[in-house]
Amino acid sequence: MLRVEHIVKQYSGHTALDDISITTKKGEIFGLLGPNGAGKTSLIRIINQITGPDSGKVFLEGREINRNDISQIGYLPEERGLYKKMKVREQSLYFARLKGLSKADAKKKLEYWFEKFEITSWYDKKVEELSKGMAQKIQFIITVLHEPKLLILDEPFSGFDPINTDLMKKEILQLKVNGTSIMLSTHNMTSVEEICDSIALIDKAKLILNGTLKEVKEKFRSHIYAVQYKGMSFGFANALWADYSLVHSEQIDDQRSIAHVKLLKGNTLNNLLQAVMPAVDIESVNEVMPTMNDIFIRAVNGEKGGENE
């Protein structure tokens, strides 16, 4: 769907994007992650053609992107903003028409969304009369009104209460089902795990991690298993020898404990179970997968992933 090739962007003296290349698939939700100031907004602005790259190219559906493609993109900037003194309907129509919709078309689509969100009573309100969350909803509608093929959402959940966050997630997933490709930039790692199919992590202007959620998690898999057992934790620890390392252990009641064990030297889970079975009664075992939160922090701190030390 979207292909970004070797983008470099420099601002007087510092490099905002250093040779960034990413590809997103049609109909997937792509998470663009990175710490503050990493260069995400710069990249988003280049895709939106608000600014141009110093070198590198952006392709949309295989063609190099041009001004006309702007009507195919919907953009929700991180810093939200609407004309405060303008009425909701007037304003929504204005933005829709700037994206190239005809007046009649824009009206029809506006009605659909306002009825869907049950907010038709806001039509004649000025934006300054709305609460922050209400204005956010309007902004979301404005972003998707022209049915873009590519939707770029920068922190779409900020400013929403849990109920509305949930509503937004549902809407985003629905848009995905309808075939919209979505690029989502957020610091909320939980929502990344919930809805993203692929991610790219940018830090200090460089792309440091890229792939499907599954691939990335696989890469950062640390081969740690959580074993819940009944018996003496002393006995459990003694049963492990040098090929395993006990990362963490926790007593949950008088008899039970959970131990996090890391496999070393090519051992398998079976080996582990064989080793500890004589000592304790095993109740459950499962692999501890790294959360996106862990991965984010580890990647930004310089870990490449895939190295099992």
Partner 1 sequence: MSKIGLIIGREYSTRVKKKAFIVLTVLIPILVVGLMFLAMWLGIEKKKHVNVLIADPMNLCNANIFVGDEQNPPATFHFYQAQMDSMTFVTRNDMKAYDVLINLDPKVITYKTIIVLCREDVSSDAMDYIRNKIQLDMEEYFAMDKGLAIDEYREIRQRIKFEWHTMGATEEQEIRDKAQAIGLVFSIFIFMFILVYAAQVMRGVIEEKTSRVVEIIVSSVKPMELMMGKIIAVGLVGLTQFLIWIILIFVLMIGVQYFVFTDIMAPENWQDQGVAIGQISTGMETAEMQNQWAIVLFDYVQWPILIVMFLLYFIGGYLLYGSLFAMIGSAVDSETDTQQLMLPVMMPLMFTYVVSIMIQGNSDGATAMWLSQIPFSSPIIMLQRIAAGTVGIWEVVLSLSILTVTFIITTYLAGKIYRVGILMYGKKSTWRELFKWMRQA
Size of the site for partner 1 (CB under 8 A): 27
Residue number with CB closer to partner 1 (79 or 118): 79
Residue 80 touching partner 1 (CB under 8 A):
yes
Residue number with CB closer to partner 1 (86 or 246): 86
Residue number with CB closer to partner 1 (83 or 112): 83
Binding mask 58-77 for partner 1 (x = CB under 8 A): ---------x--xx-x-x-x
Residue 229 touching partner 1 (CB under 8 A):
no
The span from the CA of 250 to the CA of 233, in Å, is 9
Shortest Å, Cβ 265 to partner 1: 53
**Which of 14, 36, 62, 85 touches partner 1 by CB under 8 A?**
85
Q: 3-state secondary structure string, the chain?
A: CEEEEEEEEEECCEEEEEEEEEEECCCCEEEEECCCCCCHHHHHHHHCCCCCCCEEEEEECCEECCHHHHHHEEEECCCCCCCCCCEHHHHHHHHHHHCCCCHHHHHHHHHHHHHHCCCHHHCCCEHHHCCHHHHHHHHHHHHHCCCCCEEEEECCCCCCCHHHHHHHHHHHHHHHHCCCEEEEECCCHHHHHHHCCEEEEEECCEEEEEEEHHHHHHHCCCCEEEEEEECCHHHHHHHCCCCEEEEEEEECCCCEEEEEEEECCCCCHHHHHHHHCCCCEEEEEEEECCCHHHHHHHHHCCCCCCCCC
**Which of 26, 57, 84, 170 touches partner 1 by CB under 8 A?**
84
Shortest Å, Cβ 51 to partner 1: 7
Residue number with CB closer to partner 1 (153 or 292): 153
Residue 86 touching partner 1 (CB under 8 A):
yes
Residue number with CB closer to partner 1 (86 or 224): 86
Binding mask 7-46 for partner 1 (x = CB under 8 A): ----xx--------------------------------x-
Residue 134 touching partner 1 (CB under 8 A):
no
Sites for partner 1 among residues 141-180 (CB under 8 A): 142
Shortest Å, Cβ 167 to partner 1: 21
Of 197, 200, 202, the residue nearest 213 (C-alpha): 197
Residue number with CB closer to partner 1 (23 or 71): 71
First CA to last CA distance, the chain: 37
Binding site for partner 1 (CB under 8 A): 11-12, 45, 48-51, 67, 70-71, 73, 75, 77, 79-86, 94-95, 97-99, 142
